[in-house]
Amino acid sequence: GEDVEQSLFLSVREGDSSVINCTYTDSSSTYLYWYKQEPGAGLQLLTYIFSNMDMKQDQRLTVLLNKKDKHLSLRIADTQTGDSAIYFCAERESGNTPLVFGKGTRLSVIA
Amino acid sequence: EAGVTQFPSHSVIEKGQTVTLRCDPISGHDNLYWYRRVMGKEIKFLLHFVKESKQDESGMPNNRFLAERTGGTYSTLKVQPAELEDSGVYFCASSQRQTYSYEQYFGPGTRLTVT
């Protein structure tokens, strides 16, 4: 079945760049997403990328997609303490099909 | 515009009891999804409504779980009787059918603890 894998923890210093990695198995994934969950809050969509793209940049966020290796990454430039959260990678095959999530990467930012 | 809301935010019940979770999607969103995250594991899909119809309920773990969406507005998820392994955070999400990315907007979740 479909599977999404991510490392569970990442710790970075404030001001450094963070890179969160994700691999997926479903070759028919059309949309790939990064969600952020802050303590006590719901999932907030950070950004998404279509499978026919290999990069998307949005302010401090850069998403890279290597479709051949089924590898997705999220780079956060100039990481701030407010970026501390759990980041979930997710994929889905088509428009309104359910999302398939990874276990989430807990990002800790050290001041 | 109000976001997706869920009630209650936290529920603690004993094994064997019944609990009903509620989700109010964003007004006008036809798609409504339920997901669950068991501690430390992935967020897993439970089921998907389009308006009042169940489009996909392949993720429902067993027949102790019953979801409804009367009138195509809010949805309820009932667990009866609850078991210890049902503990987790239950998320609801909604989306429009027209947006290209079908972005799903998530609620804050209901944390269910079964003791």
- B108/A40 CB distance under 8 A: yes
pLDDT in tens, B13-56: 999 999 999 999 999 899 999 999 998 788 999 999 999 999 99
CA distance A3 to chain B (A): 10
Rg over CA atoms, chain A:
13
Structure confidence at residue B102 (pLDDT): 65
| B65, pLDDT greater than 60 | yes
- Strands (E) across A1-111 are located at 4-6, 9-13, 18-24, 31-37, 43-50, 55-58, 61-66, 71-76, 85-92, 100-101, 105-110
| B62, pLDDT greater than 70 | yes
| C-alpha torsion sign, points B18, B106, B57, B75 | positive
- B95/A99 CB distance under 8 A: no
- Nearest CB neighbour to A96, from listed B31, B41, B45: B31
Structure confidence at residue B96 (pLDDT): 83
CA distance A94 to chain B (A): 9
| Residue B100: pLDDT band with limits 50, 70, 90 | low
- Nearest CB neighbour to B42, from listed A48, A97, A101: A101
CA distance A42 to chain B (A): 4
- Cα–Cα nearest to B112, from B7, B12, B5, B6: B12
CA distance A88 to chain B (A): 9
Which residues 90-109 of B have a C-beta within 8 angstroms of A? 91, 93, 95, 97, 101-109
- The pair of structure tokens assigned to A26 is 């479903």
| B110, pLDDT greater than 70 | yes
Structure confidence at residue A27 (pLDDT): 78
- Nearest CB neighbour to B107, from listed A42, A88, A99: A42
pLDDT in tens, A5-60: 999 999 999 999 999 999 998 878 788 999 999 988 889 999 999 888 999 999 99
The mean pLDDT value of chain B amounts to 92
Structure confidence at residue A54 (pLDDT): 92
Structure confidence at residue A106 (pLDDT): 96
Q: Which residue of A has its CA nearest to B30?
A: A96
Give the count of beta carbons closer than 10 Å to the beta carbon of residue B31. 19
Structure confidence at residue B40 (pLDDT): 78
List CB contacts of B66: < 8 A, sequence separation 6 or more.
Answer: B77, B78, B80
List CB contacts of A73: < 8 A, sequence separation 6 or more.
Answer: A19, A20, A21, A22, A63, A64
How far, CA to CA in Å, does B66 sit from each of A9, B54, B80? 35, 11, 8
Q: Cβ contacts (< 8 Å) between B34 and chain A: which residues?
A: none
Q: Tell whether A99 lies on the interface with B, counting CB pairs under 8 A.
A: yes
